[in-house]
Amino acid sequence: MKLFVSEGNPHCLKVLAALEVTGVQCGVQTVSHEEKVVPFLSRPALPALLLPSGQYLFSSNAICRYFFEANGQECNNLCNQWLEWETTVLQPALLQTLHMAVLQGKGSEASKVLQSPLNVLDQSLSKGNMSYLTGEAVSVADVVLWGTLHPVLSDSPSASSEHESVRTWFDRVAALHSCQSAAQKVLQGKGLQAMKSYVQKQPAPPSSQCRDAQPCNS
């Protein structure tokens, strides 16, 4: 089994943290963003995991889920729901934010994109009244959402100033040794700028292109 990662790639935060939290034995190889690891995909996709069966996983959430399951921690309904929300709502918003903040230097506008998902997360956390997203123990959902939010929340504490429950939860997960060492490996203490070369190689998110060329629906 072998995990392929690249430096400054925000998706690698969660898989490295998940690997360390679960203690699964797996070799890690750092490659360049452009390296084609998964043979059947036309675009490079990292991180990627080569499974013992010889198959490849090319989505960071599926990889995290695999590590947790190997450690005997299966994902329940609530956990599945958070992962689906992260994939369909949070990740697109985050990529748009990174694109605006890292490439266009629009930091303050960028943080607005995340307001609505952060509201959802904050409401749920304050209603649930639990230490972590799915209960009193860290689950794959916590690691995945931490990894996605790390680039924006660790850099500027003000980004979540109105979201007290998000901040408390985020700091709790971020304090885990596994998360700290994953962040160090991927970002090397350089913060958002460490992701520049990665973000440059990604296609521009549709809504930010749209915002630049007003009016939107002409």
Partner 1 sequence: MALRELASLEKYLGLKKPNKYSTQGDKKIPVLQNNSPPLVGLVTIACHLVKESNHQELLGDTADSRAVVQQWLEYRLTRLDIYTKEDIKTVLKDLNLYLQDKVFLAGNHVTLADILIYYGLHPIIVDLAVQEKEEYVNVTRWFDHIQHHPGIRHHLPPVVVLRNRIYTSRHR
Stretch that binds partner 1, among 53-61, 144-152, 155-163, 180-188 (CB under 8 A): 53-61
Burial of 77 (0-12, 13-18, 19+ CB in 10 A): exposed
Q: Tell me, by CB under 8 A, how many residues bind partner 1.
A: 27
| Near partner 1 in 150-169, by CB under 8 A | none
Question: Residue from 2, 28, 35, 85 that binds partner 1 (CB under 8 A)?
Answer: 85
Pair of tokens at residue 91 = 């990740």
Q: Does 59 bind partner 1 (CB under 8 A)?
A: yes
Q: Does 65 bind partner 1 (CB under 8 A)?
A: yes
Say how far apart CA 212 and CA 44 lie, in whole Å.
Answer: 27
Q: Which of 132, 122, 124, 125 is nearest to 175 (CA)?
A: 132
Q: Which of 74, 130, 102, 60 is nearest to 194 (CA)?
A: 102
Question: Residue from 22, 61, 97, 148 that binds partner 1 (CB under 8 A)?
Answer: 61
Q: Does 204 bind partner 1 (CB under 8 A)?
A: no
Stretch that binds partner 1, among 61-69, 169-177, 185-193, 210-218 (CB under 8 A): 61-69
Stretch that binds partner 1, among 13-21, 27-35, 54-62, 100-108 (CB under 8 A): 54-62
Say how far apart CA 165 and CA 162 lie, in whole Å.
Answer: 9
Q: Does 80 bind partner 1 (CB under 8 A)?
A: yes
Which residues face 27 on adjacent strands? 2
How many Cα atoms sit within 13 Å of 182 on the Cβ side? 28
Q: Does 34 bind partner 1 (CB under 8 A)?
A: no
- Please state the φ and ψ torsions of residue 39, each to the nearest 5 degrees: -60, -30
Q: Does 87 bind partner 1 (CB under 8 A)?
A: yes
Q: Does 210 bind partner 1 (CB under 8 A)?
A: no
Which residues face 5 on adjacent strands? 30
Q: Does 39 bind partner 1 (CB under 8 A)?
A: yes
Residue with smaller CB distance to partner 1, 71 or 165: 71
Q: What strands lie across the sheet with 2-5, from one edge to the other? A: 27-30, 2-5, 48-50, 56-57
Q: Does 73 bind partner 1 (CB under 8 A)?
A: no
Site residues, partner 1 (CB under 8 A): 39-43, 51-53, 55, 57-59, 61-63, 65-66, 69-70, 77, 80-81, 84-85, 87-88, 206
